[in-house]
Amino acid sequence: MSAISTGDRRRSPARLRPRLPLIVLLLGALYCLTPVAWVVVAASKTPRELFTTFSFAPGSGFLDNLAGLSAYGDGQFWRWGLNSLLYAGLGAVLSTLVSAMAGYALAKFRFRGREALFSVILAGVLVPGIVLAVPQYLLLASVGLAGTHWSVLLPVIINPFGIFLCRVFANAAVPESTLEAARLDGAGELRIFCTIVLPMMVQGLVTVFLLQFVGIWNNFLLPFIMLSDQDKYPITLGLYTFLSKGAGDSDLYPLVIMGSAVSVVPLIALVLVLQRFWRADLLAGGLKG
């Protein structure tokens, strides 16, 4: 779609040029928004309508589906939503803080073993989470934490990619001179970090928070292997139990789709709220280094 548009741009007369970027961008927006719109439309359909009417024709079952979702397991879905908010919210806050501290240390201090430490942490991105889930479970089970909220919270606080980004942000956004000046004034290191570094890095931290929030919210494998008490499930795991059933269970497509639509809402809201932090200098060219 966009390939055609760029081709057009080359050939088109000069007076069209100012509009072309806008047209291409609007096409891109359309491409990205259409499937989201589909989820909303599909959530309004009864089982029959879902499979027989035109995809974007609104259905008649929106409230029924919502009521069905709410009624499922005595309102269990909303409890899952709260759990997800807890895991993703608290997990992302702690993860961002831990990443910020580590990233700042790696960016602004020269110490022996710095590059080695950074490389080891970065290598953590290379290991697929699938194979770590079971060892993590056995580890937490051995201290009696498996099955608790902590078992889903603790492992997600460490985020190698977040540390990597924080190092980049700290490099770009925190000038040496400011730190030196603060030290000369006799400020303690913790105080410098809290009052000077964190505020300077706030835009980057918003990014790390958002990425980690979305990551935890969408994580399925870790809660699946850790939790067996349905009351502690996050939304993704709950929706998964809708989809995977033993033979003979009834089909829950409308609930899955309604659940998906509802579960995406907080993420979209978060993107909309946090994107105002993304002004021009989000990464401040830091990815150059």
Partner 1 sequence: MPTTSARRRRPRARAVATPWLFAMPAIVLFTLFLIIPIGYAVYLSFRGFRIEGGGAFGRRVLTFVGFDNYLAALTDPEFVAGLGRVLLYGVIAIPSVLGLALLFALLLDTPRVRARGFTRTAIFLPYAVPGVIASLLWGFLYLPSTSPITYLAERLNAGPLDFFGFPTLYFSLANIALWSGVGFNMIIIFTSLRAIPTSVYEAARIDGASELQIAWRIKIPLVAPALVLTGLFSVIGTLQLYSEPATLRPLTNSISWTWVPLMKIYQEAFRNDNLGGAAAASVVLALGILALSLVLLRFFQRRTFGGNA
Partner 2 sequence: MTSPLPQPRPGRRRRRTLIGAAALAVALTAAACSSPGPSSSDTASAGGPVTLEFWTWSLKGGDPAAKAIVDKYHQQHPNVTVKLSEVGGTAETASKLLAADQAGDTPDVVQMEYRGLPALVVAGAAKDITADVAGVKAGVDPNVWALTTFNNQVYGVPQDIGPMVLTYREDLFDKYGVKVPATWAEYAEAAERIREKDPDAYIASFSTSQLEFFAAQAAQAGAAWWSTDGNAWKVGIDSEPSLKTADFWQDLVRRDLVKIEPLLTPEWNAQVNNGKILSWAAAAWAPSVIHSVAPDTAGKWASAPLPQWTPGNPAVPFQGGSAYLVPAKSEHAKEAAAFAAWLGASDEGSKLLLGLDLYPGGNAGRQATLTHEPPKLMPQQKDFYRLTDQVIKNTTIPVTWGPNVNVAQSAFEDALNSAALNKTSFREVYQATQRAVVADLQKSGYTVTK
Q: Name residues contacting partner 1, limited to 240-279 (CB under 8 A).
A: 240, 256, 260, 263-264, 267-268, 270-272, 275, 278
Does 12 contact partner 1 by CB under 8 A? no
CA distance 174 to 289: 14
Cβ-based neighbour number of residue 242 at 10 Å: 21
Q: Among partner 2, partner 1, none, what does residue 106 contact (CB within 5–8 Å per kind)?
A: partner 1
Using alpha carbons, select from 53, 85, 46 the residue that is nearest to residue 68: 46
Minimum distance of partner 1 from residue 232's CB (angstroms): 19
Question: Is 223 within 8 Å of 152 (Cβ atoms)?
Answer: yes
The answer to whether 234 contacts partner 1 (rule: CB under 8 A) is no
CB 124 within 8 A of CB 160: yes
**Dist. CA 176–CA 172, nearest whole Å:** 10
Query: 63 touches which of partner 2, partner 1, none (CB within 5 to 8 A by kind)?
Result: none
Residues making contact with partner 2 (CB under 8 A): 47-48, 50-52, 71-74, 76, 90, 93-94, 97, 134, 137-138, 141-148, 150, 153-154, 173, 175, 177-178, 182, 194-196, 198-200, 202-203, 224-225, 228-230, 240-241, 244-253, 280-281, 284
Q: Given the complex with partner 2, which of 18 and 248 has the nearer CB atom?
A: 248
**Residues that contact partner 1, how many (by CB under 8 A):** 89
CA 145 to CA 102: how far, in whole Å? 26
d(CA 213, CA 209): 6
Binding residues among 131-160 for partner 1 as defined by CB under 8 A: 131-132, 134-136, 138-139, 154-155, 157-158, 160
Q: What is the dihedral of CA 138, 73, 68, 86, to 10 degrees?
A: -50
Q: Which does 229 bind (CB under 5 to 8 A by kind): partner 2, partner 1, none?
A: partner 2
The binder of partner 1 chosen from 4, 16, 36, 194 (CB under 8 A): 36
Residue 251 per-residue DSSP state: P
d(CA 171, CA 110): 12
